[in-house]
Each structure stands twice: as C-alpha cells, then as structure tokens.
Amino acid sequence: MQITPSTVDEVFSYHAPNAEQIPKYERLREEARVFARTLLELCPPSRELSMALSHLQEGVMCANASIALNPAPAFKGGPTG
C-alpha cells in the first residue's frame, strides 16, 4: 500500500463504529480479557509478563484498526452483488 497524504488522513481520522462493527470490537475485547487473565494466572510477575500484556493490548488495538479502516462491503442483495 502506498502511503499518501489522503492515506494518512484516513488512518488518523475518527471512525465511528457502525452496527456491524460494534459486536466485533466487543468480542475482541472479551477474548483478549480472557487471555490476559490466563496470562496472569499462569505467568509469574515479570518483565516478560508485562511485555506479553502490552503486546496483547497492542494486538487488540491493531485488530480494532483493521475493522475500522477496512469495513466489510455493503451487502447488495444477491450472490453477485
């Protein structure tokens, strides 16, 4: 993907969630919350645990951006659109 001024504007703009995206965001947060609790249960307090939790948080943020920046195409009512 070529980075252009319009690409930068798109990435750094607010993208209000639509009704289809909201459950996706909620599921990502819930799944990450469960995994974070698993990490807390299994891993001793350490720098590595802190890093794992930070990377998990970063992964959720990137996944959310993926949903926000690449919305599913609108359904047009048939198998061919």
pLDDT tens-place string over residues 19-54: 999 999 999 999 999 999 999 999 999 999 999 999
pLDDT for the residue numbered 71: 79
Round to whole Å and give the CA distance between 1 and 12: 16
Round to whole Å and give the CA distance between 71 and 79: 19
- For the segment 67-78, the average pLDDT, to the nearest whole number, is 73
Round to whole Å and give the CA distance between 22 and 28: 10
Packing angle between helix 47-69 and helix 22-42, nearest 10 degrees? 170
The per-residue pLDDT of the chain, averaged, comes to: 91
Beta strands in the chain (DSSP E): none
